[in-house]
Structure 1
Amino acid sequence: MKINLQTFSLYRSFGLVLLFFSISGVMAQEALRPNIIYILTDQWRGQALGFLHQEPVITPTIDSLAKQSLVLTQTIANYPLCSPSRASLFTGMHPIKTNVYANVNSNSTAFGVELPNNAITWFDVLKQQGYCTAYIGKWHLDSPHAPYIPTSNNAEAVKWNEFTPPSRRHGNDYWYAYGTYDNHLRPMYWDNDADRNAFHFVDQWGPEHEVDKAIEFLQDSTGRYRTKGKPFSLFLSFNPPHSVYKQVPFRYVEPYNRIPLEKLVDFPAVNAADTKWGQFYRENIRYYYAAMTGIDDQIRRLLQAASKLGLADNTIIIFSSDHGNSLGKNGQESKNTFFEQSLHVPFIIHWKNHIPARVDKTLLFSLIDVEPTLLSLLGIQNPAKTDGHNLSAFFLGKKQTGPDAQYFMGHVAPGNINSGFRGIRDGRYKLAFDQVTTYLFDYKKDPDDLHNLANKKPNVVLRLRHKLEEYLLKNKDTFLIDKQ
């Protein structure tokens, strides 16, 4: 479904983002190695980008950025759930090896599910290499413990939110973050020097406030954040468009009120209006898109600030998400499934005069590949052997053969590593096993995963199964495919 959204006037000034690519810097670049601005969203599915014309979402800033960037449309999350995905993204390691194989909360505390102190993240490496490092926003990699932080998401039986002490910040010098907290209109944070009990709330939409803090970091008028002469890494981790969906400023919702509801739900995988998940989709899709549009607006502010500070020529910009979101499609509430809406994430990377701009629809890129690829782009020797692939040559426009498959897992119960599902995705088919059923989808012909072909294509199942078994063995994953 193609929808022309150019008639909307919400961002008549969105072209200003081109300043990031065209205005000469007023400040000399301070380092030969590039700076990094990594923008991670939560629960933003890869299909929902305006320039792809797959969904009626308004993202003019990202659309403009994409024209100047490498866009990888086949990118997936190896474990489409917040904590496991982030641990693999930061380390380049399989979730079994990070021990973050479930969400970090009080249910998983007894099983040690949190990012280990001795894990090597790219933040640790950048710090060691002389980068000034900053982390702003959601972290969700520290296990809650008593006495629990008195936030609303710690008031029920399952506790979620936790402080990250300096010893567990993995090389990040500047810290303005929280564990996980879903009140987007009144978020909470720990500032850099705050102790566990000294968190604070802010009466401002989370992404807007976090971009305010990011701009402060870039400007660094007081010298608090950065050392002159050193490159920087700024990781900006937005919680939206994660639920609660309706917690988004009305100014971003209003454009979607102009679109008839039938156009917002005209997708094969959206259930009928009189079903539970069909109703859920219809109640939330405007707000889900609105959060994306709002984040797009905040990215515009961030890029304009970076341009005015003369950072355009020597900064790598990355936009991505930790996982996607079904939002009721395929009868699934959100993430942690093997359906494309859950697995598929955006991935856009810009580096002026280094990474050729193009849209690639074939590279089987995964979030686990980010860490080794990014360090290689920076010319840094990776001190750790990772499970991800170094695809930096491909990024730079050189000839490089990419992976022939992507591997994924999910829905693992704490304490039962052999539960959940495992799967493999090649250039056309996706095979998944859970504890009951074998699934095979031709995602090229059936992008909504509506038709299970496992019984019709046994040869494809057998071929992909062998590859999956080899991968499980290599990564010491004891999941039993034949248990069902």
Structure 2
Amino acid sequence: MQRAGLCLAIFGALAAVHWGGQTAFSQSTAQSSPPAQRPNVLVVFDDQLRADVCGIYGGRNITTPNIDRLASQGVTFNNAVSICPLCTPYRGMLQTGRYPTHSGLVLNWVEANPRQRCIAHVFRDAGYRTGFIGKWHLAAGRLKKAGKHAVTPEDGQRIEKSQAEYRKENPETEYVPPGPARLGYDHWQAYNFHSTFHNAFYYEDTPQRLIMKSHETDAEMDMAIEFMRKQREAKQPFFLMVAPHPPHPPWKPQDCPAGYLEQIRQDLIWDPNVPQDHRLRQNPLPARCYYAMAKNFDDAFGRLLDSLDKSGLSENTIVVLTADHGDMLGSHGRQNKMVPYREAVNVPCVIRWPGRIRAGQRIDVLVTPMDHFPTLCGLVGLQAPSTCDGVDLSGALLGTRRIDRDAVLMANYVSHWDFFDSGTNWPEWRGVRTERYTYAKWLDGKEELYDNVEDPYQMKNLAESEKDSPVLKRLRVRLAELLADAHDEFLPGTVFADWYDDERNLLKTALGPVER
């Protein structure tokens, strides 16, 4: 985190994000200029890539020269927070700019509401060619008829049977057909979900399963390079999202790209909050596989940046590099995500726009997945819909406005990432993140408070040692305010079962019934 002086200097130098002023590419310019003159937008968001894997965030087990290169040419957010660290809720926030309680996307394997206005709709309507490559995970897929709960052994048997029956009727369960379910994307080389990294499959505009020619991340970057080449020839601006699945599990040697596991050190450097017995149990293979996939992502991302340079597209392309969430990798004795700790919620976020965004900046302002929609619209001069809950940070990026944001809401809505359950794997919680503090309250009433400056590995719970601290009292109040903004009553995950029908189509959100 940056020093307080630098943060104050940034705050003092910029004007408020919601106040007047023009972006570098104003709305009037966007409306009057031919589409080909508008900047391209490339958003690359990796799956499960935690911030501190990257060199720019202090990574020690691998080097990430290409992510670091992008940072040297753009702005790095020190406080990029995946406020609901789970695949589908993140993707929902990215596409809609809305809280999960407002979009209805509170867990995995549910159908996104095809009637809501999403980021690709806005860019497509402005003359952009919109494209999505990689993991989608905004559809019910193979769990379309699997029911809503997975608590009892009987539930498990029912789920297994229903999936088998559904596959007989729909063998390509992870195909998302053209039309409203693609939320505004025209070019499509994607799949809803799978964890097959070698011979990975994807779909275009028919349910014919297509096989990637190389390891998934490499293949998807190649697809992106080819898409951008065609758009350059067509002289049409593009809005492209690329979403590789690795380094999401599985973490086995056979899942790693060839030649990368051998590059990862045997004696990994562990954070001090990883228990010793956990280090011995996890080392060397699973964590080394994770880092091997992350290293491969950086190399593949470098090829993508090189292609932009060689094609002459770099100068007129906004590039965003981020991730949907991190992974605990043994910290606090935990694996996976869905918890409020820094390893799960801290993600990389770097944005580059040559000549418009000053190179080499680091800023402390909090950024969430919901903010990308209004921010990218703000940069190119388009109007984000009023339904967006995110904040337009374009002024902070361009140095024209100040952003004064004291806190953001964090949440885990269900305790099973695929079903509407409570009290199973990861108990429900809500929390507040500020530039300095992490506060979380669990469904059973337990509280945690960490000073991320003095205690970066979150090993001292101030909610236990300083129960009457002004900070704790203030963040309790702030949590209540943010929950009200999100229309979130902080109830057990079972309540969300009523939001969906038996095929996981959305019926309602915290705002009421949805149009179907």
Shift of 1:43: 0.2
- Structure 1 pair 278–114 and aligned structure 2 pair: CA distance change class (3 A): farther
Which residue is equivalent to 2:409?
A: 407
CA distance in 2, matches of 1:252, 1:211: 17
Moved more, 174-183 or 202-211: 202-211
| Contact in 1 for aligned 2:145/2:162 (Cα 8 Å) | no
Which residue is equivalent to 1:244?
A: 250
Q: In the alignment, which of 446, 458, 465 is matched to residue 449 of structure 1?
A: 458
| Contact in 2 for aligned 1:142/1:164 (Cα 8 Å) | yes
Shift of 1:460: 1.7
* Corresponding residue SS for 1:83: helix
CA distance in 2, matches of 1:445, 1:54: 19
Which residue is equivalent to 1:4?
A: none
Which residue is equivalent to 1:428?
A: 436
CA distance in 2, matches of 1:338, 1:316: 30
CA distance in 1, matches of 2:258, 2:210: 24
Higher relative contact order (CA closer than 8 Å, sequence separation 6+): 2
Which residue is equivalent to 1:177?
A: 190
Shift of 1:355: 0.7
Shift of 1:204: 2.1
Which residue is equivalent to 2:209?
A: 199
CA distance in 1, matches of 2:485, 2:56: 38
Structure with more of its chain in helix, by fraction: 2
The reply to whether residue 234 of structure 1 matches residue 244 of structure 2 is no
Which residue is equivalent to 1:21?
A: none
- Structure 1 pair 379–158 and aligned structure 2 pair: CA distance change class (3 A): farther
Structure 2 unaligned spans of 5+: 1-33, 147-158, 168-172, 493-516
CA distance in 2, matches of 1:213, 1:31: 22
Shift of 1:265: 3.2
Shift of 1:423: 0.2
CA distance in 2, matches of 1:351, 1:282: 39
The reply to whether residue 301 of structure 1 matches residue 303 of structure 2 is yes
Listed as ranges, the matches of 1:23-422 within 5 Å are 31-104=36-109, 113-144=110-141, 156=160, 162-167=174-179, 168-191=181-204, 193-195=205-207, 198-202=208-212, 204-220=214-230, 228-246=234-252, 247-256=255-264, 259-261=265-267, 264-272=268-276, 274-275=277-278, 279-280=281-282, 282-413=284-415, 414-415=419-420, 420-422=428-430
CA distance in 1, matches of 2:473, 2:143: 48
CA distance in 2, matches of 1:61, 1:330: 30
The number of residue pairs the alignment matches comes to: 428
* Corresponding residue SS for 1:250: coil
Percent identity over the alignment is: 33
- Structure 1 pair 463–278 and aligned structure 2 pair: CA distance change class (3 A): farther
Q: Deviations over 1:206-239 (max 9, x none)?
A: 011111211221222xxxx688342101111100
Shift of 1:244: 1.2
Which residue is equivalent to 2:502?
A: none
Q: Deviations over 1:382-429 (max 9, x none)?
A: 133311111110011224123111211015155469971100011211
* Corresponding residue SS for 1:230: coil
Q: Deviations over 1:281-325 (max 9, x none)?
A: 543222211111111111121122222222111000110000011
* Corresponding residue SS for 2:219: helix
TM-score, structure 2 normalization: 0.78
| Contact in 1 for aligned 2:131/2:185 (Cα 8 Å) | yes
Shift of 1:162: 2.4
The reply to whether residue 466 of structure 1 matches residue 477 of structure 2 is yes
Which residue is equivalent to 1:438?
A: 447
CA distance in 1, matches of 2:162, 2:244: 23
- Structure 1 pair 63–288 and aligned structure 2 pair: CA distance change class (3 A): same
Structure 1 unaligned spans of 5+: 1-28, 105-112, 150-154
* Corresponding residue SS for 1:251: coil
Give 1:56's aligned amino acid.
Answer: N
- Structure 1 pair 404–278 and aligned structure 2 pair: CA distance change class (3 A): farther
- Structure 1 pair 39–157 and aligned structure 2 pair: CA distance change class (3 A): farther
- Structure 1 pair 240–402 and aligned structure 2 pair: CA distance change class (3 A): farther
Q: Deviations over 1:244-291 (max 9, x none)?
A: 1231123222221xx351xx233201221x34x751254322221111
Moved more, 411-420 or 424-433: 411-420
CA distance in 1, matches of 2:222, 2:296: 14
Q: Tell me the C-alpha RMSD between the 2 structures.
A: 2.6
- Structure 1 pair 180–158 and aligned structure 2 pair: CA distance change class (3 A): farther
CA distance in 1, matches of 2:214, 2:388: 39
* Corresponding residue SS for 1:430: strand
* Corresponding residue SS for 1:219: helix
CA distance in 2, matches of 1:353, 1:158: 54
Shift of 1:54: 3.6
